[in-house]
Structure 1
Amino acid sequence: MMTAIAIDDEPKAIQVIQHHISKMDSVMLLSHFYNAKDAMSFLKQNPVDLIFLDINMPHMSGLEMLNDLQLKPQVIFTTAYTEFAIESYDYNAIDYLLKPFEFDRFQMAIHKAEERINNLKKQKDFFFIKDGFKTIKIEFQDILFVKGSGNYLDIVTKEKKYTPRMTFVELIEKIPSSKFVRIHQSYLINILNIDKIENNKVYIGTHQIPISNRYKEGFFKRLNLE
């Protein structure tokens, strides 16, 4: 069974989600929140598989919340605004439910979530990338860090560097969030390969990788250094 929370500043919207979930056996709603900050505090101690997330909320929007989260659950956006639909793809959202949504449409989104989450739980210790005309197998443990540049990534391993045509969003679907963390808009690192942290830089072997202010707090929390 999937675990979930709902975040929306409108009580009626929360009630609709609760009502729909009460008809289903595949998802359990652990809690609900009327603002993003309370939800983030909960998630630090209680990881979940899925969040139902409103976008346009006071103080902190749903998109701002996702930017601040290091361990990101799967997301189903629930919103009254169509203009965020395209941007939601940047967050690899499972679905985008436009309020008011009926049970059948909600059920469809839940089925999508089940499929993705089950596939992630079957994830192995490696993944494949296309490198030119070759298909390369990469072990997670061998990755030192990843640098993003537009539609391409530099995946730096212990032995060599690969540059597949791939975005961070596509990569994050393939790798375990327990081992990797974003420390900069352009850098994702393997926590297991960190040698030291000094002067707002992570040292991995001979590489020095900058830690940006945007990701610093979340990174240190992941390492229990807050």
Structure 2
Amino acid sequence: MTTMITAIAIDDEPKAIKVIEHHASKIEHLQLVAHFYNADDALQFLRQNPIDFIFLDINMPNVSGMEMLNKLQHQPLIVFTTAYSEYALESYNFNAVDYLLKPFELDRFQLAIKKVEERLESTKYNSSYFFIKDGFKTIKIAFEDILHIKGSGNYLDIVTDGKSFSPRMTFTEIVEKLPASQFVRVHQSYVINISKIDKIENNHVSIGEHKIPVGNRYKTPFLKRLGLG
């Protein structure tokens, strides 16, 4: 089974967003979870939501695509989209996966997605676990063992099967570590492991004995992520 990959699109031109949405709808294992017309709104989303990659326009007013990337601590993979070929060389300073020159057709778009998949596959070995500090101990946690994570100020509750950890770490910091293919945000304070979901009912997700609330602003992208929206 092909792994679902997630993306957002950032472009100040509505027509350009519509082209990306149209092409994305033709690829079953690609989920365009959100789109933005300016860098500031996209930055706010990216700091709190894990995704695999960004379709990013370079030439935008106020904050350009490249200026936006310099503001991110953790960068998802990047597919640049632009009408100006002179940006191509500079774009590769950001280790871009691909560079789509507008207007681009579906076959060229599909090639970019294939390159994203190859890059994701090549970095998989870095995405199976992470470490947290617990007093004087350093503990390894496998992503596949996590049920859900709750943020509370400068601390987290990381819940696994039979165990819970409360490291001093912000919600933004943990979101940046999570592989977007496995995790989805369902609430201002909760991220869940998609593979652990048992049931969705009355604005709650059941994972074993845990009931996690689904916030109104996260409900539509969450259901869309599961193919239910």
TM-score normalised per structure 2: 0.61
Counterpart of 1:39 (choices 20, 24, 43) is 20
**Is this contact kept in 1: 2:51–2:76, CA < 8 A?**
no
What is the rounded CA distance, in whole Å, between the counterparts of 1:152 and 1:131 in structure 2?
12
Aligned to 1:144: 147
Give the superposed CA RMSD.
Answer: 4.4
Please say if 1:80 is aligned against 2:83: no
What is the rounded CA distance, in whole Å, between the counterparts of 2:197 and 2:155 in structure 1?
24
Aligned to 2:38: 56
Q: How does 1:101-116 map to 2 (within 5 A)?
A: 102-110=87-95
What is the rounded CA distance, in whole Å, between the counterparts of 2:8 and 2:202 in structure 1?
37
Deviation of 1:90 (Å): 7.3
Aligned to 2:203: 200
AA at the equivalent of 2:72: Y
**Is this contact kept in 2: 1:180–1:189, CA < 8 A?**
yes
What is the rounded CA distance, in whole Å, between the counterparts of 2:22 and 2:42 in structure 1?
14
User: What is the SS of the residue equivalent to 1:178?
Assistant: coil
| More RCO (CA 8 Å, sep 6+) | 2
Identity of aligned residues (%): 43
User: What is the SS of the residue equivalent to 1:122?
Assistant: helix
What is the rounded CA distance, in whole Å, between the counterparts of 1:151 and 1:112 in structure 2?
34
**Is this contact kept in 2: 1:144–1:204, CA < 8 A?**
yes
What is the rounded CA distance, in whole Å, between the counterparts of 2:12 and 2:129 in structure 1?
40
**Is this contact kept in 2: 1:68–1:215, CA < 8 A?**
no
TM-score normalised per structure 1: 0.62
Deviation of 1:8 (Å): 3.2
**Residues 165 and 44 (structure 1), Cα distance of their counterparts in 2 relative to 1, 3 Å cut:** farther
**Is this contact kept in 1: 2:152–2:171, CA < 8 A?**
no
Please say if 1:179 is aligned against 2:160: no
User: What is the SS of the residue equivalent to 2:144?
Assistant: helix
**Is this contact kept in 2: 1:7–1:34, CA < 8 A?**
no
Aligned to 1:26: none
Please say if 1:157 is aligned against 2:160: yes
What is the rounded CA distance, in whole Å, between the counterparts of 1:105 and 1:75 in structure 2?
16
Aligned to 2:228: 225
What is the rounded CA distance, in whole Å, between the counterparts of 2:216 and 2:73 in structure 1?
21
Counterpart of 2:219 (choices 210, 216, 221) is 216
User: What is the SS of the residue equivalent to 1:220?
Assistant: helix
After superposition, what is the alpha-carbon deviation per residue over 1:7-45, rounded to whole angstroms, capped at 9, x for unaligned? 5346xxxxxxxxxxxxxxxxxxxxxx8443553454455
After superposition, what is the alpha-carbon deviation per residue over 1:30-61, rounded to whole angstroms, capped at 9, x for unaligned? xxx8443553454455467xxxx98539xxx6
Aligned to 2:103: none
Counterpart of 1:190 (choices 171, 184, 193) is 193
Identify unmatched segments of 5+ residues in structure 1. 11-32
Indicate the larger mover: 193-202 or 166-175: 166-175
Identify unmatched segments of 5+ residues in structure 2. 1-6, 99-115
